[in-house]
Chain A
Amino acid sequence: MRPRSLTMRIVAWVVLLDLGLAGLMLGIGVFVARTELVSAFDSSLHQKTLSLRALVRYPENNSPRLIFDPTGLPPSADAAHPDMFAIYLSDGTMLAHSPVWNGLPAGARLSSGGIARFRQAGVPFRALVMRDIEILDREDESGRAGAKITVVYASTLLGVRQRVWRVGLYLGAASLLLVAAAAWLTVWTIRRSLAPLHELTTRAGGITVRQWSFEAPPSAAATPELRPLTQALETLISRLHDSFARQREFTSDLAHELKTAVAIIKSSLQVLLQAPRTALEYHAGAEALLGDCERLESLVERMLRLARAEQFAEHGTPRQIARADLMSTCDAALSRVAALANSKDVQLKLEGISNAQVAADPDDLELVWVNLLDNAVRYSTPGSTVTLRLRDLQNGGAVLCVEDSGEGIPAADLPHLFERFRRGNGVFARSAGGFGLGLAICKTIVEAYSGSIALESQPGQGTRVRVELPAVVAEAEGMPVRPEMPTGPAPQPVFKR
């Protein structure tokens, strides 16, 4: 789409509208002026006609013939185009006429008021025909009936036309001035109104990765029309900032974990080399170092897992639609945690059965269960039981709960549990040998498979993690169960439709 300036469009519209209105006003003005002027012209015609009548009288010698006395002729308005007149007697004979008189043109139509319009040598004239007017002769006392005459008086319209033209000219000039003023005012107003937007743009342009602060300039905040935009910007930026800060915190936590792991190995070696040691001491040191390396390895593995799960969650579409038999993943996880549970004297119990086939990679699910069971066992008191509870849902999905009766988690820490490397008040961060990555990995994986994970805990009574997974989606139906799935005491997979 061609870029079009908002200002130019608005100004164009305003000018067009103004021009239309100015044209209309000009038309009305000219029409009114012309009507008024013509009506004034007509009344002067009338006056002149009547004054002409007064010049017709009987001679002093009592002759019955009327005479015309041209001494008191009314002056012409336009010397170049003098008025024309003719006086007819009642019998139709012409009594007198102006120096130039060609008679009314044949085509001239008389209006009801006795007005006729015609052109004489290209000059417009307007004539008044006044019929059968009585002669008033003040010296007539003989009782003669007053003779009647017809007077035709024509005067040029050029003066009127000129004046109408002048009125039009003034009106037009004034209108054009107004249009120009309105256009300028519009541009000015738009510029002024857009100033907060420009300010906002400058402010928004100043946001960088290092400089996240965004506060709407007061001018934009005071503009109601801009409020949705500023609010949207503020929300967007604070959300971006949060996610950026989280990412940065994660990277920093990651660096801390990795550097700490390296620091352990390095300092272990340095302690070993600090003084001469016996072979036994070297041996013990090397074994401890091996343990440190294994910890580092597991940290790296977990971080890669998390990164993979996150990538998967972001891109949404699974590389391959996997199908996991819930029961067998649980069995596999239980057997993996058995050794730890044994060493901590914690009993593992599986309750309920499930026939559910869920749309997830069995390895991923197993990792989730192992993480949850591992946590539960670590925070359990010796002699207690960790229960893995399974239940199928009506819609084909399944619910899995891991319950322990351990120390529980303070309410203040609950919201942060699924954060990576939870710390600060997160007492658990490393106290039981974990990295603080387990629950974050679980959440990412479960959510990647459109499931949900929730945790509830009562300090002193225990913790329950509930995972809900949806059933296999329709398009995945018919895919074979992955052959490497371990077959244990789990019931044979049943396809649900």
Chain B
Amino acid sequence: MRVLVVEDEKRLAENIARGLRDGAGYAVDHAPDGEEALFSIASTEYDLIVLDLMLPRRIGQEVVRELRQRGKTVPVLILTARDERESIVALLNAGADDYVTKPFDLGELIARAKALIRRGKGQAAAVLHAGDLEVDTARRQVRRAGRELILTPMEYRVLEYLVHRHGTVVSKTELLEHLYDYNWEKFSNVIEVYISGLRRKIDEGSADRLIHTLRGHGYVLRQECSVKVPVEAETRR
């Protein structure tokens, strides 16, 4: 999952980014003002935006309105120092999804971030299922048929994303986009490394495979062996 933190206070942005990286395993980018935030949102697909209300150049509310006008459905979590009812109502009406008031609890912020991402992917429960695979996003635990699997943080991130999008083909580029922030070097072959690691841990000892590779298209997490390839992909073949 990739999150954009829009906050002009550098130290606070650093702390939030660190909290989200360490506490939820998300890739986090930082934008110091509203203009830059809108630029980043236009060029990258984010799974969540954490937005401070008082920003230089564009205030948070404008950013929310602008990005909703552009048709972006990404969940927006507002950081605000104001707890006056009107401003919160105005924010939610402008298209924000949730808010936390400063000074916030980092644990709560992370929990809300997780919940918003889940909701954004159409999931209500914190525990995601795909066949007999169970991913507990709150505790970051993975089970297959009741057996707990030990994953590296990066493997977990890949799996969490695939489970969220389960049933659909996820390209390598999409994975790279959502799992890495700007600070990391992106090499597409590392994805293959994680996938093979995951496959080994998940599919080992099970009759049916869950992670499938579609050569030239990407990966899909699905129970059945037969996988529906997107129509355009089929015609190209």
Contact = CB atoms under 8 A, between A and B. Distances in A.
User: Do A and B originate from a single complex?
Assistant: yes
Interface of A: 252-253, 255-260, 262-268, 270-271, 274-275, 288, 292, 423-431
B121 to A, nearest CB: 25
A472 B54 CA distance: 43
Interface string B8-22: 110110011011001
A402 to B, nearest CB: 23
Given A256-B81, A259-B102, A423-B56, A429 B15 contact: no
Given A263-B79, A264-B9, 8 more contacts: A252-B81, A260-B102, A262-B102, A262-B103, A264-B12, A271-B15, A275-B22, A424-B59
A270 B110 CA distance: 12
A431 B11 contact: no
Size class of B's contact patch? 20 to 34
A271 B12 contact: no
Nearest to B104: A263
Interface in B99-132: 101-107
B54 A423 contact: yes
A256 B12 CA distance: 13
Interface string B51-62: 001111111000
Question: B-side binding surface: helix, strand, loop or mixed?
Answer: loop
Contacts of B32: 431
Nearest to A291: B11
B103 A255 contact: no
Nearest to B105: A270
B193 to A, nearest CB: 25
Residue among B15, B23, B79 with max Cβ neighbours from chain A (10 Å) = B15
B169 to A, nearest CB: 35
A271 B56 contact: no
Contact of B18 (A255, A256, A271): A271
B201 interface: no
B82 interface: yes
Interface in B70-87: 79, 81-82, 84
A288 B56 contact: no
B120 to A, nearest CB: 23
Contacts of B107: 270
Contact of A426 (B56, B101, B106): B56
A255 B8 contact: no
A255 B56 contact: no
A264 B11 contact: yes
Contact of A260 (B12, B59, B105): B12
Contact of A267 (B16, B33, B55, B58): B16
B59 A423 contact: yes
Nearest to B52: A260
Residue among A255, A257, A259, A263 with max Cβ neighbours from chain B (10 Å) = A263
Nearest to B82: A252
A383 B138 CA distance: 52
Contacts of A426: 56
Given A429-B56, A430-B56, A259 B19 contact: no
30 contacts: A252-B84, A253-B54, A258-B81, A259-B101, A259-B103, A260-B12, A260-B102, A262-B102, A263-B12, A263-B79, A263-B104, A264-B12, A266-B106, A267-B12, A267-B16, A267-B19, A270-B15, A270-B19, A271-B15, A271-B22, A274-B22, A292-B11, A424-B57, A424-B59, A425-B57, A427-B33, A429-B56, A430-B8, A430-B56, A431-B32
Nearest to B109: A267
Contacts of B11: 264, 268, 288, 292
Contacts of B84: 252
Nearest to B84: A252
Contacts of B101: 259
Contacts of B23: 274
B103 to A, nearest CB: 4
A262 B104 CA distance: 9
Interface in B29-72: 32-33, 53-59
Contacts of B103: 259, 262-263, 265-267
B204 to A, nearest CB: 29
Given A263-B102, A423-B54, A427-B56, A255 B9 contact: no
A259 B33 contact: no
Given A271-B18, A429-B8, A259 B106 contact: no
B106 A270 contact: yes
Given A256-B81, A256-B82, A427 B102 contact: no
A208 to B, nearest CB: 16
Given A271-B19, A274-B22, A275-B22, A259 B81 contact: yes
A429 B59 CA distance: 12
Interface in B143-157: none
B15 A260 contact: no
A256 B54 contact: yes
A116 B18 CA distance: 130
